[in-house]
Chain A
Amino acid sequence: MKKFLSGNEAVARGAYEAGVKLAVGYPGTPSTEILETVAEEYRSIYSQWSPNEKVAFEVGIGASLGGARALVTMKHVGLNVAADPFMTFAYTGVNGGFVVISADDPEMHSSQNEQDNRFFAKFAQIPFLEPSDSQEAKDFVLKAFEISEKFDTPVMLRMTTRVSHSKGIVEENEPVVLPEGSFKRDMQKYVMIPSNAKKRHVVVTERLDKLREYSEKTELNKEENNGSKIGIITGGIAYQYVKEVIPDADYFKIGFGFPLPIDKIRKFVDAHQINLVIEELEPYYEEILKAAGIKVEGKKYFSRLGELSPYRVSLGMKEAGIINEAYSAEIEPEQLFPRPPILCPGCPHRGAFMALKKLGVAVTGDIGCYTLAVLPPLEIMDSCICMGASIGNAIGMEKVKGHKKGVVAVIGDSTFLHSGITGLLDAVYNRSNVTVVILDNRITAMTGGQQHPSTGYTLMGEPTKSVNFIELAKALGVESVREVDPYDYKKLLEVFKEEIEREGPSVVITNRPCVLMPKRIMDKPHRVILEDCNGCSACFRIGCPAILPSKELTKRNRPKAEIDPTLCTGCSLCAQVCQPEAIVLVEEPVVR
């Protein structure tokens, strides 16, 4: 049957068809929908969110050791967190097949860097496969499990944003029937004490030779000959872009990216006058081919920054002298105001940032919706490095007295559970004076609302224990732990001020849920009494999308404010900062 699936949905389907028994991961754009689809559509697979990617990876290893096929999903930077088990699991090899999805984010649509994880596979000396559309995403998952078991190795499936989030037509098949696997005790293989690991490293090297042979033979790497003198070596989404620009060139399409089929590519290159390597991000193929003495060009014409597109490929092709004209606009572009993403109307994070801005402290930030506080008009975040970094950053800055008004770390609930707990432990252990604000909106919001260990539900929808942040912080040794309503601006200022001045580490937890997930929260909206508005713009500065400049101006020609009643959730923060008290509740019912 044919279905219209995203790359992520296709991976989930592939896992189902491959007979996967356990699927695990941590949410992260662009990987999140894989596990969501598994949990929704393929209930025969046990699936779970783990608190972070390292744990997820280790759970996956356990399932593999237990003889089952396991799928582990994460975004590119998630693999940094899971790098420790990843690097050593490459030594032990698998029992049941093991595939890790690395969903890379060229162009950083929703990420803090655009690292190219193809190098990670090479680093760990494990094979990676790289699909270029949804159909391949599904097919390659099945192939990856076969390779994993055949060569006794974990396999990486490298997705990118445009493969994960683009949709295409996929032919669905029935799942394969596998013999029931089970754990087989093998201490020399799985217990990586130095004496065993030394032997396993030899195995890794021998395995690589076998994989090299396989790479030369597999259909995953294929030639397309159209009788052209131009040879294109490409893989992943870049293949589709180049096909769009010059469909009639000859292609060497790489689907199995490590180790590369050097001999096959050498022959292909020898048969063509012009040879170009076209790949997104780093010159990964190009460097390997050049090191093997194969004459190709690549990054000379195509940027290593951001993602490619038909347009960007056409620019490079023109520069390389392959085509005469790149794509161009037939209609003059228009320069417009920017429309950056901002915190939603009624977002429970807004109040905390308004208060921190008022107090003038340094704010070390973290990964989540709240990172948007760095953008105008709030502009109150001083660092954002990786998951959990806020607390360590704050400790360090406070130790060197980097900011005279104090340092506050802000971190979301899911991020805190992912990798903030150890940071807080450090603050206690090392007698830090930092204040840690846990912005607890009770969901993993940025990635679209996933469950985590404090929401009370598992990925598969079962009720479970919910971690209590107050007890957790106290158990780590924090003496001052306070909860505050982030819709109460005065109280926020008061509590933050006291905790920042307090000796020793303290924790403040803001306790309102996300207004979007799991339920949309809409209270009675507010409105502006225009004759009372003096155009002071205090409400504009809280950065709420529901507050708009009115067409009515003050005597000094400043716009008064108005509130869109269909967007306003009634959080009342704007009313709390309005000096002339011009913002009031709407009493009559509103049609939204």
Chain B
Amino acid sequence: MKKNTTNVLIVGVGGQGVLLASELLSETAMSAGYDVKKSEVHGMSQRGGVVTSHVKFGPKVFSPIIPYGQTDLLISFEQAEALRAVDWLKKDGLIAVSTTRLVPPITAGGKFHYPDDPIADLRKKVKNVIAIEADKIARELGDSRLVNTLLLGVISTRLEFNNTLWEKVMRQKVKAKFVDINLKAFAKGRELAAKAAE
């Protein structure tokens, strides 16, 4: 068991399934015997705003919020949102990001600009970036909502929990009829992460 706390920040836009992803990760860490806390804000954020979920696990966790600049793993369901949260990451931290682009109407007026290539901007700042076309792959697998388990699959390769544990938690927490397809997405995420590491 690791002695330090591991800090995982999951970000996205309201409705993308950020909260389920952080729930699965937390339950897995808890099953592995860790103390776990997670924090997010409900309410306004659900209406197309930014959603962030902090997950911390270790032998003993105090604050449910990650200290600024201390994130080990950043998972982003949207390109630009990864960039928005990038300063929360440690220098040697890892980003798993979906290439999903959600351009808000506010950028139509010309006053605000959605970055041309957020992933390229991320790579300029951070060494470890795994970008996957999660939306496209999820739809190929049969459901656009699989983005969260895909991304979890990606980061699972950087965490110590074995596959059996992840699977056990998914069987408990995901609706029965969606379990198999979610496990498939998870495995796909692991495969993509392995490819990215090559």
Contact = CB atoms under 8 A, between A and B. Distances in A.
Given A167-B38, A329-B87, A29 B105 contact: no
Contacts of B61: 168
B113 interface: yes
A545 B105 contact: yes
Nearest to B88: A329
Contacts of A310: 63, 65-68
Nearest to A29: B43
A548 B106 contact: no
Interface stretch (A174-182, A225-233, A238-246, A436-444): A238-246
Interface residues of A, number: 63
A369 to B, nearest CB: 7
A344 B47 contact: yes
Contacts of B86: 331, 333-334
A510 interface: no
A521 to B, nearest CB: 15
Interface in B91-131: 91, 103-109, 112-115, 121, 125-126
Nearest to B64: A166
Nearest to B37: A168
Interface in A192-248: 237, 240-241, 243-245, 247
A133 interface: yes
B181 to A, nearest CB: 15
Contacts of B42: 29-30, 33, 110, 165, 448
A559 B108 contact: yes
Interface in A307-325: 309-311, 314
Contact of B84 (A168, A311, A334, A547): A334
A240 B63 contact: yes
B47 to A, nearest CB: 4
A542 to B, nearest CB: 9
B39 to A, nearest CB: 4
A225 B48 CA distance: 46
A311 B67 contact: yes
A367 B154 CA distance: 41
Contact of B87 (A166, A243, A331, A369): A331
B163 to A, nearest CB: 21
Given A109-B43, A327-B70, A336-B83, A342 B144 contact: no
Contacts of A133: 37, 64
A114 to B, nearest CB: 14
A543 interface: yes
B36 A169 contact: yes
B107 A109 contact: no
A419 to B, nearest CB: 20
A369 B26 CA distance: 30
A123 interface: no
A554 interface: no
A511 interface: no
A369 B108 contact: no
Contact of B26 (A4, A314, A537): A4
Interface in A97-140: 109-110, 133
Contact of B48 (A537, A545, A549): A545
A571 to B, nearest CB: 15
Contacts of A275: none
Contacts of B80: 336-337
B112 A338 contact: yes
B43 to A, nearest CB: 3
A330 B139 contact: no
A537 B108 contact: yes
Nearest to B115: A336
A544 interface: yes
A245 B62 CA distance: 10
Nearest to B89: A331
A537 B110 CA distance: 11
A372 interface: yes
Contacts of A369: 47
A309 B91 contact: no
B41 interface: yes
Given A334-B121, A336-B80, A548-B105, A166 B37 contact: yes
A592 B139 CA distance: 9
B17 interface: no
B197 interface: no
B47 A341 contact: yes
B126 to A, nearest CB: 7
A309 B89 CA distance: 16
A393 interface: no
Interface of A: 2, 4, 29-30, 33, 109-110, 133, 161-162, 165-169, 237, 240-241, 243-245, 247, 309-311, 314, 327-334, 336-344, 369, 372, 376-377, 446-448, 537, 540, 543-545, 547-549, 559, 561, 566, 591-592
User: Which 7 A/B pairs are nearest by Cβ-Cβ distance?
Assistant: A110-B43, A337-B112, A341-B49, A166-B64, A341-B47, A333-B87, A311-B68
Given A4-B27, A339-B13, A342-B105, 11 more contacts: A30-B42, A162-B39, A165-B40, A167-B39, A330-B69, A331-B69, A331-B89, A337-B107, A377-B106, A446-B43, A548-B105
24 contacts: A30-B43, A110-B43, A133-B37, A162-B39, A169-B35, A237-B64, A243-B63, A244-B63, A245-B67, A311-B68, A327-B68, A330-B69, A330-B90, A337-B114, A339-B48, A339-B81, A341-B45, A342-B49, A377-B109, A543-B105, A547-B108, A548-B105, A549-B108, A559-B108
